Amino acid sequence: MNKIKFSALALTFVLAVLSCGSAFAHEFIIKPVQLTTQKDHVVPFSVISAHAFMISEEMEPLNQVEAQLIQNGKVTKLTLAENEMLMTLDGQAKFAKEGTAIIAGHRNGMIWTQTTKGWKQQSKKGLKGVIKSGKYEKFCKTLITVGKPDGSFNKVVGHKLEIVPVTDPTQAKVGDEIEIKILLDGKPVTVENVLATYAGFSTNNNTYAYFTEPYGNGLAKVKISAPGTWMVRVQYKNAQPTADYDSHVMRAVLVFEVK
């Protein structure tokens, strides 16, 4: 596995270069108030849109986002409400049984087109002065331990782009390496890189604590360097153009707690 370590400053520079084509594309993150809870407890959560981990900068369109609670083989749709003050979409999840639960989120693909007169949230079809156009779709899975883990951390939820843990990240300790698999349409895919960070590492935009490259069959490892709430993020770009856009960019996020 080709693994590279950067200082925060160097990694910020690299990410700025990597994301220059979609600098406006915030990360899509489901943030519960706690990632460890007990059976029958209600846990509030927020859907945040951020360049800096866990600090929401804009509110996703309510009609473009869905969230589900997945636990013990049952899928429950979760209701979201706009919170204009915090620029989040807020909801609650109640956990009926012990085990590892997943709150899964999906932000539908939205088309943004850059023209000589600026960005427009619409298809490139019929527009003049088109520079480039992309469809941007986002996914998130947040792991919550209810009482004690039950091995459900590796549940495949069926997102088009999905991060599936191979080892249980909720049981990781500082110094451990966790292994993940990246799936596209349910099959392993090798993305260009895997980024990871944790809450409190930095408030700078697009700054991550860890950078690595997958080593085959969609597999990658992330070394845990601090306790707290972690996020792993991958991106896949389908460069096949359509009549409406030039490329389809998908991002997937995995959120978990390290004690």
Confidence of residue 25 (pLDDT cuts 50, 70, 90): low
Q: The domain containing residue 95 runs over which residues?
A: 27-108+136-241+250-258
In a domain, 86, yes or no: yes
In a domain, 41, yes or no: yes
pTM of the model: 0.90
Q: What is the pLDDT of residues 37-86, one digit of tens each?
A: 999 999 999 999 988 788 889 999 999 999 999 999 999 999 999 999 99
Q: Residue 178 contacts by C-beta under 8 Å, 6 or more apart in sequence? A: 165, 166, 167, 168, 169, 172, 221, 222, 224
- How many helices (H) does the chain have, and how many strands (E)? 1, 19
- Which two structure tokens, joined as six digits, stand for 204? 């700078």
Share of the chain above pLDDT 90, in %: 84
In a domain, 8, yes or no: no
CA–CA separation, 217 and 124 (whole Å)? 35
Q: What integer pLDDT is reported at residue 50 of this predicted model?
A: 87
pLDDT at 4 exceeding the cut of 80: no
Q: Other C-beta atoms within 10 Å of 85: how many?
A: 7
In a domain, 68, yes or no: yes
pLDDT at 172 exceeding the cut of 80: yes
For residue 63, the domain's CATH number is 2.60.40.10
- Over the chain, what is the mean pLDDT? 90
Q: What is the pLDDT of residues 217-233, one digit of tens each?
A: 999 999 999 999 999 99
pLDDT at 1 exceeding the cut of 50: no
In a domain, 6, yes or no: no
Look at residue 218 and give its three-state secondary structure.
coil
In a domain, 224, yes or no: yes
Q: What integer pLDDT is reported at residue 153 of this predicted model?
A: 97
Domain count, the chain: 1
Buried b / exposed e across 37-71, counting CB within 10 Å, b at 16+?
A: beeeeebebbbbbbbbbbebeebbeeeebebbbbb
Average pLDDT over residues 178-190: 97
pLDDT at 20 exceeding the cut of 60: no
Q: Dihedral of CA 25/13/180/241: which sign? A: positive
pLDDT at 18 exceeding the cut of 80: no
Q: What is the pLDDT of residues 118-154, one digit of tens each?
A: 999 999 998 999 999 999 999 999 999 999 999 999 9
- Which two structure tokens, joined as six digits, stand for 243? 């009549």
CA–CA separation, 47 and 252 (whole Å)? 14
Residue 150: phi and psi, rounded to 5, are: -130, 15
Average pLDDT over residues 97-113: 97
Q: Other C-beta atoms within 10 Å of 179: how many?
A: 13
pLDDT at 6 exceeding the cut of 60: no
pLDDT at 236 exceeding the cut of 80: yes
- Which two structure tokens, joined as six digits, stand for 186? 């349910």
In a domain, 231, yes or no: yes
- Which run of H or E residues covers position 102? strand 99-115
In a domain, 9, yes or no: no
